[in-house]
Chain A
Amino acid sequence: MTLLDLDGLSVSYATRQGTRTVVEDVSFAVDPGELVAVVGESGSGKTTTAQAVLGLLADNGRIESGRISLNGTDIARWSDRRLRAVRGSQISLVPQDPGNSLDPVKTIGSQIAEVFRLHEPRGRRPVGPRVIDLLERVGLTRPELRARQYPHELSGGMRQRVLIAIAVALHPQLIIADEPTSALDVTVQRTILDLIDSLRQEFGTAVLLVTHDLGVAADRSDRLVVMKDGRVQETGPTPVVVADPSSEYTRALLADAPSFGSPLQARREQREPVAAVSSGGVTPAEAPPAIVVEGLVKEFRGGRRGDAVRAVDDVSFVVPRGTTHALVGESGSGKTTTARLVTRFETPTAGSIRLDGSDVSELRGEDLRQLRRRIQLVYQNPFATLDPRHRVRDIVAEPLRNFDLGDRSSRRDRTLELLDLVALPAAVADRPARELSGGQRQRVAIARALAVEPEVVVLDEAVSALDVTVQAAILRLLDDLQRRLGLTYLFISHDLAVVRQISDTVSVLSGGRVVESGPVERIFTEPEDPYTRQLLAAVPGAATPAPSEPKAAQ
């Protein structure tokens, strides 16, 4: 029989503007021991659905109609008190952010022990050994030590293991995992997903995996539920949905997911000659390369005992004009520090950075300010990089004002021209940035970067915070702009699938060093370094059978 059965579930939130229905008529079922993935973009209602099952909706949320049956009992209208007995023992949650979900002032051991204390009569069995056993079960080394440690002493992956330990402690029938790996590096993500898989087999637990990552869902799930705008678009066995999607939206999602489709395939073929030039010993043809970085070193003071920490250690690469070079690596690999060195928000400890043949590594004061006309940085989080109090018009025109380019009216024309360039309607010019969506904001940030007509644009995880369909649109925009304006990109990303789409050449970074570099096709098809191989193997979606690709490309 089915373990969890949602039937016509609708959830609404009471807001200042009235009630807003965010989940509408959602029905699907989870069988015992099954892994069902709910996939959707932000705002699709996938998290709200999961919260409704747990009875953990926000205060203004309400289940309007529908049934949530757990083992045949409808729990949709149960009180919080009754649900408390279900939570943890029958259904448990693995939350998204391992950084925020553990109590920073309690030891790991006491937080796991809490589950037993809450759900079992006092003193039935000593809790200590069971905690140690659990920590061992989720693959943490030295469990006795971990139990005494505090969350800040553990890495992100280790914390997520602790959260999983808490979730499986009472052998629940269903685990709801809400984006369990979204905050983690790709190699760590793989080990965590492997762990969930093995625990599932061991205990026969069903898993409801909520994720935005179609690759993860396709790799791991038995069945897929695709959601959009609060409605189920499509549901079915994973291989069937991936190979032959029946809904338009699923097809678009598959095409935009970087691990599946290759919308920029045409682009790569078209610029094959350029890539070939750059790969041929990385020698520029006639003009000097746009960026030449040699022996770049950055040390930060203030490690333990005041040691200097080498964030970037002897990094060198060359980017020919008009091409895209990617820096790939996991967190702590030094890729962002390298980006900040090249844009000279940081000063290198050693080494040289040449833009168009001129050394910029020592610039200071007014010279450094003038450098901003030649190189611009686009940041990861479009919600943090635009002044919330300013209008789009002011934001885009700010570089023009700073460099005294043009008068008031010509700046206004140029602003509209720039908005048009990034495919934003002129109407957004007068709106404050906070009213725009993530994708629109990132377009504004790109427009601002292009205002002073720079030669080089450094994109620091510029599409990582965006939904896949938005991500695909921004990537197409970047590609188009590069061709029209002859821009040179330095593209920083942890996402290998995205890198493969947009870059010509790539450097793989690990621990501040370049472990491998070369043309993107070679690195992806014939990686030489073991680390690169490991990184590529961990990319979700890589294990999915090939049939999906020609399908999506149609």
Chain B
Amino acid sequence: MTATALLPGLLRSTRRRSVSPTLVLAWVVVAVVILWAIAPGLFTHYSATSGVPQDRLLPPDAQHWFGTDQLGRDQYSRVVHGSIHSLSGAVVAVAVGFVAGSLLGLLAGSLGGLVDIVIGRVVDVLLSVPGLLLSLTVIILLGFGTVHAAIAVGLTSIASFTRLTRSEVVGVRRSDYVEAAFGSGGRRWSVLFRHVLPNSLGPVLALVALQIGTAIIAISTLGFLGYGAPPPTPEWGLLIADGRNYVATSWWLTTYPGIVVVVVVLAANRIGQSLGRRGRQGGSR
């Protein structure tokens, strides 16, 4: 549903308006990273896990774009192969946050009263705990691993999804057309799903895009701290952590994966921003 709702809007925007160059660049970056995740073989022929020992710690050159690590593994290949872990982790994390958060928000916003108060206070508590601390706590309870790390990151974003959905639902629920729908004999749940939910989701979808960037950072952070995927998985956070040991002599091991993370997150944020703007314009009409 989310994808079908989003697609025509995107098509329309590219067709009519002159698109800003940074936005195009952002989409290109995201497209490349998604291709990395789907078909890493197209981008590199080096293995991500086994290296050539005599080629260890080579600086970047035409053969090894990002240089090689202490085991002689091509760092570019590790970044390419690692994208699947970071991306899928981010998608799972955001999916957890979006589904749980928007359902809680819909409940809180539409039922009001005690339900609203209880959900609101739980959200307050979630927001008051620092995100990293919360995900570390969850991951220690669940155990290490990529999926667990993703769930842990997703839980931290539930609060913001709930807040946003609730505020949208509260606004839409009071609008004339929702009252008119009740006036036409609509039952509570049919009005909720026919009118309230579709008209509330615009800004929430924009938050999804924004949260993907945040989730990539959070997952890399967990990887960096050693709570995510175990070595030798070429997860981005893990790459940065490994390279840290050689930062004085082989700067490329931390720098290049770091730059990739930053660029991807910036791209995701840029896209999120543009969707948010569209959402606001659509809402004001």
- Can you name the residue of chain A whose Cβ is closest to the Cβ of B195? A387
A472 within 8 A of B: no
B21 within 8 A of A: no
Interface window among B150-158, B178-186, B210-218: B178-186
Q: Which of A433-462 contact B (CB under 8 A)?
A: 434, 445, 448, 451-452
Contact present for B199 and A369 (CB under 8 Å) = no
Chain B residues closer than 8 Å to A387, beta-carbon distance: 177, 181, 195, 199
B190 within 8 A of A: yes
Partner of B198, one of A379, A389, A399, A451: A389
Interface window among A164-172, A370-378, A479-487: A370-378
A372-B184, A388-B285 known; 14 new pairs, CB 8 Å cut-off, are A16-B16, A343-B183, A372-B182, A373-B185, A377-B180, A381-B176, A384-B175, A385-B177, A387-B181, A387-B199, A399-B185, A402-B187, A445-B180, A448-B180
Total A-B residue pairs with C-beta atoms closer than 8 Å? 55
Distance of A451 Cα from B183 Cα, bound (Å): 12
- Can you name the residue of chain B whose Cβ is closest to the Cβ of A451? B184
Distance of A274 Cα from B198 Cα, bound (Å): 47
Chain B residues closer than 8 Å to A539, beta-carbon distance: none
Chain B residues closer than 8 Å to A376, beta-carbon distance: 183
Name, among A345, A369, A370, A373, the residue most crowded by chain B CB atoms within 10 Å (CB to CB). Answer: A369
CB distance from B189 to the nearest CB of A (A): 12
Interface of A is mostly: loop
- Can you name the residue of chain B whose Cβ is closest to the Cβ of A452? B185
A249 within 8 A of B: no
Contact present for A369 and B183 (CB under 8 Å) = no
Chain A residues closer than 8 Å to B185, beta-carbon distance: 369-370, 372-373, 399, 402-403, 452
Distance of A459 Cα from B269 Cα, bound (Å): 47
Contact present for B183 and A386 (CB under 8 Å) = no
Residues on B lying within 8 angstroms of A by beta carbon are 16-17, 175-177, 179-187, 190, 195, 198-199, 285
- Can you name the residue of chain B whose Cβ is closest to the Cβ of A387? B177
Interface size on A, residues (CB 8 A): 26
Contact present for A345 and B199 (CB under 8 Å) = no
- Can you name the residue of chain B whose Cβ is closest to the Cβ of A377? B183
Chain B residues closer than 8 Å to A385, beta-carbon distance: 176-177, 180
A64 within 8 A of B: no
Contact present for B177 and A384 (CB under 8 Å) = yes
CB distance from A438 to the nearest CB of B (A): 14
Distance of A399 Cα from B187 Cα, bound (Å): 11
Chain A residues closer than 8 Å to B16, beta-carbon distance: 16
CB distance from B40 to the nearest CB of A (A): 40
Distance of A389 Cα from B194 Cα, bound (Å): 10
Chain B residues closer than 8 Å to A219, beta-carbon distance: none
A229 within 8 A of B: no
**A390-401 vs B, Cβ < 8 Å mask (1 yes, 0 no):** 000000001100
Contact present for A434 and B285 (CB under 8 Å) = yes
